[in-house]
Chains A and B, each alone.
Chain A
Amino acid sequence: MMYRILHGVTALLFIALAAAAAGQNGDQNSALFARQKSGLVVIEVADRTSGNKNVIGSGFVVDAGAGLFATNYHVVSEYVLDPERFVLRFKSGDEGGGDLEIIALDVIHDLALVRATDSHALPPAAWQFTLAAKQPAQGAPVLAMGNPYDIGISIVPGTYNGLIEKQYRRHIHFTGALNPGMSGGPAVNASGEVIGVNVAGTVNSVSFLVPVEYLAALLAGPRDEPAPSDPAAWQARIVADLRAHQGGLLDDLMAGDWSGSEFGPLMIPTAVRPYVDCSGGTSEDDDEVRYRAHTSDCGVNDRIFLSRQLDSGMIEIDFGWYESDRYNRFQFYRMFEDIGFFPANQGGKKDLTRFRCREDIVRYDNLGDVPFKTTLCVREYLDYAGLYDVLFSAKSLLDRPEGVFLHYTLAGVPRDKAEAFHECFIGAVRWK
């Protein structure tokens, strides 16, 4: 009895302390926000003819003297790709604002540096954000700022949860609600230094920030960028960045651990690198379904934003093993025929060529005498020459109601790396 009361008292005490701490935090936050608010801007991409706002995001002053703002690439992308149709501008405070031009881009990390074309458009006392030199400790409070749903500059308190381990392209896991419109805004530590740039939110306060070191690199980077409004030149720059990044990713994957694990009758590669995410399993026993499917689906789900209709960067490495004791061979192959595959990324015919495919019955040296019905499909990005989406699938032709399905999908990769990856993929599969 006594014990329980004591327990209750401790709990009450704890709640009171926590409330006091929160109050204190709240005071600190208001003071910080009051100081920094003048350095936050709303960034808009609007249609030149109608004046309608197409995209709304946030940005922040990184160099008040030069009128430089940082934001996300996905906020300004429409202007970058079509400056004749769109206008890029910012709004600051109640009246301030003006047109912007692109200074530097990092499409891989979704960052952009923009500059006010009229240096006097910025209020004279605008706060200039400083970049933090190191990341805070896990659990440290972080404040994200931005313009959620275009309802006005807001501040969102949350928690720093470290860099996400299972990613090739690093993001900060921020526990706090990032909403549309806050993209491009800063996330600051308790002393008001920028530790990351708001980039994406999901439900339940799981949100992502671009680590500040990429912004620092962009700021320190060489200023040999193309003229501010030359979409073709920017696209050429983006292609070069993508080629380097995707090539690097494939190289890193190929240098991973391809030794493989058991999968039905096969040995297959799975999580070749820590950032390769794997799922899969065996279909449930179901009287109505007359076969069993075992799957191993691994991937690098690194979505790189290219435009509102086009993304890229994902990699999938999938295996399937299908077996049935209730099918004859005809039935089995009828079912096996329908096992399909799709591109991992989004894009329409404005952005991509259609897939060209080659299909044949193929024999693989390391897979014995079993012939495989093999399909290889390729499509190219219209505006990013030399980048391809590549799909590969091979289905075994065994003389019994059983089959294995080998599949990979590469989005936005250069040809030489795709071909090297193919050899690596095929070489890693063998019968047990």
Chain B
Amino acid sequence: MEVIIEQLGTTNNILDRQKFNQNVIRIGRAYSNDLILTDEHVDKLHAFLSCDNEGRWWLSDNHSLNGIKKPRSRKHITRQQIKSGDVFLLGRNKIRILFGNHPLPPTVKVRLSEVFLLALGHLPVLFTLVVGYFALKGLTVYHTTTGEIKWSAILGSNLQVALSYIGLALLVYLLSVLFRRGGNFLSHIGLLILVFFASEALVLAVHIVRFNTASGADRFIAVWEQINGYLVLWLYFWSILYLAFHLSLKRRTLASLGLIVIFVSINLLYQDALKEFTRPTVDADRALLPPVFLWREPVPAGDFIAAGAGLYRQVEEDRQKALAERDKSNGKAE
């Protein structure tokens, strides 16, 4: 009867997989064994995997020094019947034992998103993205510089960004190889450029909306702006978990959301810590664009000033609050 033994890494990633077609399989460090485990904690002949007359498989310890355990269990196993999919620890070596009829999840059709992500690494696509990246960078610099444009300075600063992109992609590639996953270095570069495009587009969208709205909507726009940042970050995590680590759709969605939650909480902590130091400044956002982007009717001056009456109400509320707070802290001091 057929039996398959997988050697697993720390994250249960498969390091090696072998199929056997015999009734007794010898497992150990010695080269005479059927399954050779190269780990100093494993005995020369550590264990037997054997099939009895009724077709049941048994794993038995050969009086080894470190014995056999289940992961996360302290109990030593001397002999145990195998169910397909059981995982055991031999020394520090993790193995999974499966039978030929082990059930499989249904076949997944290649998703469009996955094709798209992988296509980012194709040379013509990547080349177009790189050209687009430099074109957009050049255009924004041209549009935002008030003084003389020094192309050498622009190239210098962008070279740094380009190098940091490549550095990040290399690091992820190395990690990916370490976990014996796909790598996809070029696709990662393409993905980074795409993420840059997405964030620029969202920034422009926010600016246009801000230009067109009265300050009553400030809070919503600020929230939207923050969400945009996280959205782009999530998109990046979600994609890279597929490209570099081949996580399944469910896993990469969960993992990327988890990462975002971590980022949001760190940011909130940071903002809370900064709150103490904020000074009373003029924080009108002042977004300005050519009138082509003006999509709404201007309000009559009278309406604007009438609405401005609310400001006096607001600052009086602020004042009462500040005075109450001051009384409270004075009370504490006394």
Please encode chain A, from 333 to 370, with 1 for each CB lying within 8 Å of some chain B CB and 0 for all others. 11111101111000111001111111111111100000
Q: Looking at the assembled complex, report how far the CB atom of B124 sits from the nearest CB atom of chain A, in whole angstroms.
A: 31
Please encode chain B, from 76 to 117, with 1 for each CB lying within 8 Å of some chain A CB and 0 for all others. 000000000000000000000000000000000000000000
Of A70-78, A251-259, A372-380, the stretch lying at the interface with chain B is: A372-380
Q: Are A360 and B311 in contact (CB under 8 A)?
A: no
Which of these, B281, B287, B304, B305, contacts A355 with CB under 8 Å?
B281
Q: Which residue of B lies closest to A378 (CB)?
A: B311
Of B125-133, B169-177, B264-272, B295-303, the stretch lying at the interface with chain A is: B295-303
Q: Give the contact-size bracket for chain A.
A: 35 or more
CA–CA, A288 and B318, complex, Å? 45
Q: Are A358 and B215 in contact (CB under 8 A)?
A: yes
Q: Looking at the assembled complex, report how far the CB atom of B222 sits from the nearest CB atom of chain A, in whole angstroms.
A: 13
Q: Looking at the assembled complex, report how far the CB atom of B303 sits from the nearest CB atom of chain A, in whole angstroms.
A: 8
Please encode chain A, from 118 to 132, with 1 for each CB lying within 8 Å of some chain B CB and 0 for all others. 000000000000000
Which of these, B144, B289, B299, contacts A360 with CB under 8 Å?
B299
Query: Which residues 281-322 of A have a CB within 8 angstroms of B?
Result: 287-291
Q: Which residue of A lies closest to B285 (CB)?
A: A359
Residues of B within 8 A of A52 (CB): none
CA–CA, A332 and B143, complex, Å? 8
Q: Are B280 and A291 in contact (CB under 8 A)?
A: no
Of A23-31, A162-170, A395-403, the stretch lying at the interface with chain B is: A395-403
CA–CA, A372 and B286, complex, Å? 12
Q: Are B323 and A343 in contact (CB under 8 A)?
A: no
Please encode chain B, from 255 to 292, with 1 for each CB lying within 8 Å of some chain A CB and 0 for all others. 00000000000000000000000011111111111111
Residues of A within 8 A of B290 (CB): 329-330, 332-333, 397, 399
Q: Are B143 and A362 in contact (CB under 8 A)?
A: no
Q: Is A388 an interface residue (CB 8 A)?
A: yes
CA–CA, A356 and B284, complex, Å? 8
Q: Is B180 an interface residue (CB 8 A)?
A: no
Q: Is A371 an interface residue (CB 8 A)?
A: yes
Main secondary structure of the interface of A (DSSP, over half): mixed
Q: Are B315 and A289 in contact (CB under 8 A)?
A: no
Q: Count residues on chain B whose CB falls below 8 Å from chain A CBs.
A: 47
Q: Is B316 an interface residue (CB 8 A)?
A: yes
Q: Are A376 and B304 in contact (CB under 8 A)?
A: yes
Residues of B within 8 A of A334 (CB): 143-144, 146, 288
Q: Are A365 and B315 in contact (CB under 8 A)?
A: no
Q: Are A399 and B291 in contact (CB under 8 A)?
A: yes
CA–CA, A290 and B314, complex, Å? 41
Residues of A within 8 A of B146 (CB): 289-291, 334-335, 338
Residues of A within 8 A of B279 (CB): 348-349
Residues of B within 8 A of A289 (CB): 146-148
Q: Is A382 an interface residue (CB 8 A)?
A: yes
Q: Are A357 and B291 in contact (CB under 8 A)?
A: no
Q: Are B280 and A348 in contact (CB under 8 A)?
A: yes
Q: Is B179 an interface residue (CB 8 A)?
A: no
Please encode chain B, from 296 to 334, with 1 for each CB lying within 8 Å of some chain A CB and 0 for all others. 101111001101101110111011001100100000000
Q: Is B165 an interface residue (CB 8 A)?
A: no
Q: Looking at the assembled complex, report how far the CB atom of B225 sits from the nearest CB atom of chain A, in whole angstroms.
A: 16
Q: Are B311 and A362 in contact (CB under 8 A)?
A: no
Q: Is A133 an interface residue (CB 8 A)?
A: no
Q: Looking at the assembled complex, report how far the CB atom of A203 sits from the nearest CB atom of chain B, in whole angstroms.
A: 30
Q: Looking at the assembled complex, report how far the CB atom of B324 sits from the nearest CB atom of chain A, in whole angstroms.
A: 11
Q: Which residue of A lies closest to B286 (CB)?
A: A337
Q: Are B318 and A359 in contact (CB under 8 A)?
A: no
CA–CA, A335 and B279, complex, Å? 25
Residues of A within 8 A of B316 (CB): 380
CA–CA, A420 and B174, complex, Å? 69
Q: Is B214 an interface residue (CB 8 A)?
A: yes
Residues of B within 8 A of A337 (CB): 286-288
Task: Enumerate the 7 nearest inter-chain pairs by beta-carbon distance, A residue then B residue, closest first.
Answer: A359-B215, A337-B288, A363-B298, A353-B318, A354-B280, A329-B290, A371-B298
29 A-B contacts (beta carbon < 8 Å):
A289-B148, A335-B146, A337-B286, A341-B282, A349-B322, A353-B319, A354-B280, A354-B281, A355-B283, A356-B311, A356-B315, A357-B284, A357-B311, A358-B307, A359-B285, A360-B214, A362-B299, A363-B299, A365-B300, A371-B298, A376-B305, A378-B314, A379-B315, A380-B316, A382-B326, A385-B319, A393-B284, A399-B290, A399-B292
Interface residues of A (CB under 8 A from B): 287-291, 328-338, 340-343, 347-349, 352-365, 371-380, 382, 385, 388, 391, 393, 395, 397-399, 415, 419, 422, 426
Known: A340-B286, A362-B300, A419-B305. 18 other contacts (CB 8 A): A287-B148, A289-B147, A290-B147, A334-B143, A336-B288, A342-B282, A343-B282, A356-B311, A357-B215, A357-B284, A359-B215, A359-B286, A360-B298, A376-B308, A377-B284, A380-B315, A382-B326, A422-B305
